[in-house]
Chain A
Amino acid sequence: MVVLNFTLTPEAASKVHDLLLCLGKFSDAVAIEARSSRFTFTALNSSKSAYAALTLDAHTFFTKYECIPSRGGPDGRFTCSISTKALLSVFKGRLYDPLGRDGSIDRCEVSVSDKPSQTECRFIIKMICNQGVIKTYKLTYEAVEVMHALFDRNVAKNRWSMHSSAVKEYVEYFGTKTEMLDIFSGEGDDAKAVFKSYTEKISNGKEVLKHPLVTAVAVNTSDFEEFSVQPGLHIIISVKDFKAIAVHADTLKTSLKAFYSQPTRPLQFSYGCDGLACEFTLMTSGDYTAPSSQAPTPAPAVQILSRENSRPESRTRSFEMPPPAEPASASTSFRSARRRNPGSRQPAASKPAAPDPDSLFVRQDEDERWEPLEYNQDEEETLGWDASAEHDAAVFPTFRDSGSLARTETEGSGGGGGDGGGSTEVVAPTQRVSQIKGLW
């Protein structure tokens, strides 16, 4: 039997929302690993090219945290997997609002009920709202083994660090629908780092015009807090992953650090503050026969120091690493688990409070009111009357000035006076048309 209880402040709960939103861009299900000293969300994408581990520190992130795994003693852990959508419908946006408006909470209490005596194992989240309302959510979870991607920062000689708000600004320049991001460090004295978003697909003729925008953002290396990358090195990752990371890092207003060695070897982005440590390990591509790999163990590349002195990072971190076997099946088996418990209260897999994906990157301006209206999308919002009086005629008898009060129409279906339930609903006109004069 596992004991896992913790309490979150509204700020922390809203950070959980932000991180889930980010993890949702990688995978449908997040894996959770709780230890006595930390709590980790991990996600691995379906192509296994991106792995995210977001670790919440037991002491600084939570107001109260207690985790006693059922076995393994102090190094033991409790692991499970939960649908990202389900969690996002619990950890909605705007949980933290200093003005206490709609949706804001006072605190959030989470516990796991995993007792052998009970038939149901649930992840229980209680949102204690400001007006004394307590919303309790019980989520099903699936017990899975949680894997960690191994990343050895000692080998990753190339590294840079930049404030997330600047990175996010660069990401906003990228066109939509591009696939790849090439991070290039220039050569020469006045070297620049270039972030280029592009799509590999090469098309001909008329199709050329449908080719997505190629965007290159050239940044002075002195604008980085730290920049120590082998000149001339290209490293290619998915632009979608990078966008998700930059946007999430920006919610923390912190520096984004990158570590990598050479193309085809993993790259790691890392950032964090206030008890939240985020690490994303991404597979890279690129021409590994390029100048970079001629020295396979790159000698310390030219150090370009910026205003801030880069301190030699002597952190040796390696994670335990069973080869990444996958919770990819987790999403499907989660669904089947849900089916097995039809009575359980499942939070509706409603659309997560994700804003329009474009709005994160595209300037929202007053220009929008000039856009042609999308009539198809907002049909449901339109309040209208059905003035046709055609197809429902049998159900709602129309009345006419014949004195029969339209019974003629219901008689056929109603089958006589006995069950004339339909005709009792008929509202008789208060006046006959023939009595009204001068109106028409």
Chain B
Amino acid sequence: MRFKASIQNINTFTKLTASLNSLGPLAWVKLSDDQVCFTIIPEQGTQVWAVLSIDTIFETYTVQSAAGNVINLEVPLTSLTRALKSALNATSAQIRLTKKDNIPLLALTIVTTSASNSYAAFPTASANNNNEDGVDAPFDSAFGGGSRETIVTQEVPVRVLGPDTVAGLHEPQCREPDVHIILPPLLQLKSISDRFTKLALAGAKSGSGTTAARTRLELAANMHGCLRMSIKTDAMSISSVWTDLNNPELDPNQVAGGEIGLAEHPSTRMKQLGTADGRSDEGWASVRIDGRDWGKVMSVGRLGGRVIACFCHDHALILYVYLPNENGEDESVLTYYVSSYSA
């Protein structure tokens, strides 16, 4: 079993693991010849199934195993994120699977170069004193010569999962969505949902009901570019409505049944209902989600991808987060499965 790669895009990788870490501490990482999959299946809350093309984060990538060159690992995300953060200013970073004392681990080797005189940019009296007998030192400082190369090794303990362990893990199946819509900037969405949740919790101390029931957000969208987020408690009812959002067209080649399938698609029917100003009561597909869990999902916004939300009325909300990439091919997608509470 061999896995070795150099990390091409440390920033993206760090943001990815940080986002995933907010949903759960452990990730199932599946390394194969053509893609890298990160899956978080928390005991409760939202699942994430991320499929990345190799070159989104890695280059010079090798993976070999007896099981068809696929390696399945269970990785603690907090440690991995911490390790990756130390590579943010690195000149190069490598990751490989290795074993120490019979414990498998992912070893990151990070090379950083910093100017040796970086601390002498504002020389202090004491720094000058130290240099009095160092003949070369003043030249070093003056010409910026010499740099410190430091090699940092971070070892993240992991667990290797056998093929039979992961065989039972399947991506959730869902019916065709009623409404699909491109979400507004996630930072905006997050700050509003955080606000709502906070307000609901502030009231929770005095009122009745469990907090879980109180932080329930209702998220709804129609096929006319509207998104509505609302929260209702005994004491209040607030909602925010976005309009003029985009409902992407479905590609007939991607829909089961082609043109006919498209004509019978639930979203085609939903297009007949509702209005673009969001005032009509008709045409909304809505889900009830937990505000805290939603806050964790929104953490993915740091990756800056385009997000399409698919609403299955009263059933589930699926977010597809497309990571920005240069060449436009082999898109990397993070899929979030948020299930709807029944009431």
Contacts and interface: CB of A to CB of B under 8 A. Distances in A.
Chain B associates with chain A: yes
A373 B153 CA distance: 32
A242 to B, nearest CB: 16
Given A215-B153, A307-B140, A388-B203, A370 B298 contact: yes
A328 interface: no
A274 B127 CA distance: 11
B19 to A, nearest CB: 7
Interface string B137-170: 1001000001011111111111100000000000
Interface string B285-317: 000000010011011111000000000000000
Contacts of B103: 208, 211
A175 interface: yes
B234 A388 contact: yes
A384 B295 contact: no
Interface stretch (A67-75, A217-225, A341-349): A217-225
B127 A253 contact: yes
B207 interface: yes
Instruction: Specify which of B129, B206, B292 lies most central, judged by the most chain A CB atoms within 10 Å of its CB.
Output: B206
B269 interface: no
A353 interface: no
A351 interface: no
Contact of A308 (B76, B134, B295): B134
Contacts of A369: 187
B203 A372 contact: no
Interface stretch (B31-39, B116-124, B244-252, B270-278): B116-124
B307 to A, nearest CB: 13
Contact of B152 (A208, A215, A220, A274): A215
Nearest to A370: B302
Interface string B22-49: 1000100000000000000000000000
B335 to A, nearest CB: 19
A411 to B, nearest CB: 25
A363 B133 contact: no
A232 interface: no
Interface in B180-237: 187, 190, 194, 197-199, 201-203, 206-207, 234-236
Contacts of B85: 362-363
Contacts of B26: 209
Interface in A160-219: 163-166, 169-170, 172-173, 175-176, 192, 202, 206, 208-219
B7 interface: no
Contacts of B119: 163-166, 253
Interface residues of A, number: 56
Contacts, number: 161
A223 B296 contact: no
A113 B126 CA distance: 36
A357 B124 CA distance: 27
Contacts of B79: 175, 212-213
A311 interface: yes
A104 B294 CA distance: 43
B126 A382 contact: no
A371 interface: yes
B137 A210 contact: no
Given A274-B126, A307-B137, A373 B198 contact: yes
A366 to B, nearest CB: 9
B150 A367 contact: no
B336 to A, nearest CB: 14
Contact of B83 (A166, A170, A175): A175
A391 interface: yes
B86 interface: yes
Nearest to A376: B201
Contact of B299 (A254, A372, A378): A372
Contacts of A206: 159
Contacts of B129: 273
Given A215-B86, A371-B299, A372-B295, A382 B198 contact: yes
B88 interface: yes
B159 A169 contact: no
Given A386-B206, A390-B207, 11 more contacts: A217-B151, A217-B152, A223-B150, A254-B130, A307-B140, A308-B133, A308-B134, A371-B22, A371-B299, A372-B298, A384-B202
Interface of A: 163-166, 169-170, 172-173, 175-176, 192, 202, 206, 208-220, 223, 225, 252-255, 273-274, 307-309, 311, 362-363, 367, 369-373, 375, 378-379, 382, 384, 386-388, 390-391
11 contacts: A209-B159, A210-B76, A211-B157, A214-B105, A214-B153, A214-B155, A215-B152, A215-B154, A273-B125, A274-B126, A388-B235
Interface of B: 15, 18-19, 22, 26, 74-76, 79, 82-83, 85-86, 88, 101, 103, 105, 114, 116, 118-119, 124-127, 129-131, 133-137, 140, 146, 148-159, 187, 190, 194, 197-199, 201-203, 206-207, 234-236, 292, 295-296, 298-302
